[in-house]
Structure 1
Amino acid sequence: MTRAVWVKADDSVGDWEARRDRVTAALEAGADWVLVDEADVERVRELGEINVAAFRTDGDVSLIDDAEDESQTARPDAAIVGKNGEGDGTVDLPGDFSGSADLSTLRRDRPVAGGAYVRILDEGYEAFAEAAARDGEYTIVIGEDWTIIPLENLIARIGEETDLIAGVTSAADARTAFETLELGADAVLIDSDDPTEIRRTVEIRDESDRESLDLEWATVTSVEQIGSADRVCVDTGSLFGDDEGMLVGSMSRGLVFVHAETADSPYVESRPFRVNAGAVHAYVRTPGGRTKYLSELQSGDQVQVVDRSGKTRESIVGRVKIERRPMFRVAVETEGGDRIETLLQNAETVSVATRDGRTAVTELAVGDELLLYHEETARHFGEPVDEQIIEK
């Protein structure tokens, strides 16, 4: 599941300056959507690229419904009902939802996606949110004096019918919403003036979407100098932590953890944005469980960064350096008896993760235990496939 962060920036926030500050914070943090009033859509478009959802004005005059209006600045990406209506309690809920003005508007033909904004004041509003979810691509639910139970109910009942968006006021609340019932809300709508809370909410979104890998130890069976080959350094646009690196290897089923060049060295200055990843033929793991050949990487590509505990994140390739260098062939054997190999440059600055900690490949010895990611699968064009492929 891909999570999303919405930022609330309608007139309940304050004047245009206050609303603009929230939109700017959303843009700078990397949020996915802003929720504004229809009158602000064009001004938001002028600030930057972001998905814009707008509370509807009266249906008879709304730009959302005006099929003649071709303006891409005035028209939002999604139209939201419920503000100053039944959804937020301004108008009483009808006993029979078939007579609902909000739902009638939501069901109307429109040129953009639709959704509902519902404050969960009691069980009747839970039922109203369920009814709206059947007709809207997005269902925003705002808890009042609720516990987590109403959100659990809605996730269980409408999780597959709509994108369920939980209203929150802090990053901590966002984490809870993303983790509820393990499945979690599809998105959160954060209502906060604090740019730090908005940025942290986006970080939590990213964390919730990332893989967590089960790394294992394998025993080194040989370290052999084999001559020179074309070696690839992957320079990323972000800094690595001391316990981070990339997963690379000659065999797609077994990728070795290679540390980034974050450690101080008497030979060269550290390069905390770089992984000296091996020879051009080797695989490197990329987001989404895919792999690429090191030779294929170029500026702008995404690679997967992993730490020793298996937590992952994404990083953008800024530059790839390919140079001819002397190499080691490192062979290891997993507990299950699978033999894995890779080529790494014969250099003191290239380090792998062993039981003893960070170890330069020049100090690696038979019997050392080396960290790697192992999976029982073959690959075709970087995608895992269910077929037998022999790698040796």
Structure 2
Amino acid sequence: MKLCWVDIRSTNGLKDAIVAEALHQRVDGIIANDLADLTNLPPTVTRVLFPQDAIPADLTGADVVLVDTDKFGDTATLALKFPGVEFGRYVEIVDAPTLEQACEAARTETWSYLLFRDPTKIPLEIVLAAAGAGKDTGKGKIITQAADVEEAEIIFIVLEHGSDGVAMAPKNVGDTTALKAAAEERSAPVELVELTVLETAHIGMGERACVDTTSYFGEDEGILVGSHSKGMILCVSETHPLPYMPTRPFRVNAGAIHSYTMSKAGRTNYLSELKAGSKVLAVNTKGETRVITVGRVKIESRPLISIDAVAPDGRAANLILQDDWHVRVLGPGGKGGEDYKVLNSTELRPGDKVWGYLPTEDRHVGYPINEFSLEK
């Protein structure tokens, strides 16, 4: 889980409201330059003091103190002087020497609080790479200052792992809620079910959608697609070799345009409404998921094949695909010990096994809802 710190040093008269929102959203830390702003905060939040001119003689009320070591001395000496308080090093990165200071802090400090003046994220990538083993063993945390929620979203995913946390000074009430949502936007795993194919049928022409994403899929990874919101089948990407054409490991030949697929936060989307910038849920055969971005959707008229499958408890799924051998789904148990099998859709026969997902919620404009809805 990524850390969220809220900076209240400059709040334009909204300090009380921003603190109240921060506590309601259960942020991890609140930064102030006055101990009086920290002393009455509950123990559920880390109280972070960022002194400007001098370190108070009594640090009661502070859990972490951030310091510019050029001004206040090294953190190890300060920690000996003020037992019971953790110290972190503040580094403002403006050039190569300060970048090296940030790398050193990331490797050695309990807390590193970093402010990058350059808009590119390459310096942050260098710091995260330099932190390396220190971060892996939990020796320290890197908190990076963000100007807004949009920048925070990028910081969370730099080099795939991102900074350990983000600090942001909210400009308005609501910004903290958005920051917290960005930190928690990690896709939960799904429970895949082994489905048995009942029948397949060639159903004639229709429009199907190829979903091209901005990410490479793994060999056991694809997206969930189905005619009904409560029954989907795992369609594999074009990661595996095909005759007459190169692999396209960013693409899923996904299904007919009416089909549902899973998006972020448990929402569904029709394949027909996906477009550049949309989000879809990539799922592997273990049920592990990640949110990826759509780069393009190609909708073309093609012959279609309908696949009906059923779960052991009787719940059903239907998938309508392009009627072509190179369009594939994933099933359990393959050769050589793999826990999955790549299945050509036109060769599926009754009794074959495929991986599916069977949500229990009905849907309204893609959102889960508890109401009666019959799909058939």
- The two structures have a TM-score, normalised by structure 2, of 0.58
The answer for the alignment partner of 2:262 in structure 1 is 285
The answer for the alignment partner of 2:2 in structure 1 is 3
Whether the aligned pair in 1 keeps the contact of 2:142 and 2:163 (CA below 8 Å) is: no
The answer for the alignment partner of 1:373 in structure 2 is 357
* Alpha-carbon distance between aligned partners in 1 of 2:312 and 2:142, rounded to the nearest angstrom: 43
Whether the aligned pair in 2 keeps the contact of 1:3 and 1:208 (CA below 8 Å) is: no
Cα 1:127–1:66 change in 2 (3 A) is: closer
For structure 2, list consecutive stretches of 5 or more residues without a partner in the other structure.
Answer: 14-28, 51-57, 65-75, 87-109, 113-127, 146-154, 166-182, 335-340
Matches within 5 A, 1:1-392: 3-4=2-3, 64=10, 80-81=31-32, 101-104=34-37, 116-117=47-48, 128-129=62-63, 167=111, 170=131, 189=143, 199=159, 201-202=161-162, 209-355=186-332, 356=334, 357-392=341-376
- The two structures have a TM-score, normalised by structure 1, of 0.56
| Distance apart, 1:4 and its partner CA | 4.7
The answer for the alignment partner of 1:92 in structure 2 is none
| 1:294-344 superposed Cα distances (whole Å, 9 cap, x missing partner) | 111111111111111111112111111111111111000111101211101
Letter in 2 for 1:389: S
Letter in 1 for 2:32: V
Cα 1:203–1:368 change in 2 (3 A) is: farther
Cα 1:380–1:65 change in 2 (3 A) is: closer
Letter in 2 for 1:257: L
* Alpha-carbon distance between aligned partners in 2 of 1:365 and 1:172, rounded to the nearest angstrom: 50
Letter in 2 for 1:199: L
> Could you say what the CA RMSD is over the residues aligned between the two structures, in angstroms?
4.0
* Alpha-carbon distance between aligned partners in 1 of 2:207 and 2:342, rounded to the nearest angstrom: 24
Cα 1:171–1:207 change in 2 (3 A) is: farther
Q: Kindly tell me the number of residue pairs found equivalent between the two proteins.
A: 257
| 1:258-282 superposed Cα distances (whole Å, 9 cap, x missing partner) | 0000111113211111101100100
Cα 1:125–1:387 change in 2 (3 A) is: farther
| Distance apart, 1:364 and its partner CA | 1.0
| 1:125-182 superposed Cα distances (whole Å, 9 cap, x missing partner) | 796449xxxxxxxxxxx9x79xxxx99xxxxxxxxxxxxxx947956776787xxxxx
| Distance apart, 1:379 and its partner CA | 0.6
Letter in 1 for 2:323: N
Identity in percent: 33
Whether the aligned pair in 1 keeps the contact of 2:198 and 2:310 (CA below 8 Å) is: yes
Whether the aligned pair in 1 keeps the contact of 2:47 and 2:62 (CA below 8 Å) is: no
Cα 1:275–1:126 change in 2 (3 A) is: farther
Runs of 4 or more above 4 Å deviation: 104-107, 124-127, 168-177, 203-208
* Alpha-carbon distance between aligned partners in 1 of 2:194 and 2:133, rounded to the nearest angstrom: 35
Secondary structure at the aligned position of 2:162 is classed as helix
Secondary structure at the aligned position of 1:288 is classed as helix
| Distance apart, 1:293 and its partner CA | 0.5
Letter in 2 for 1:321: K
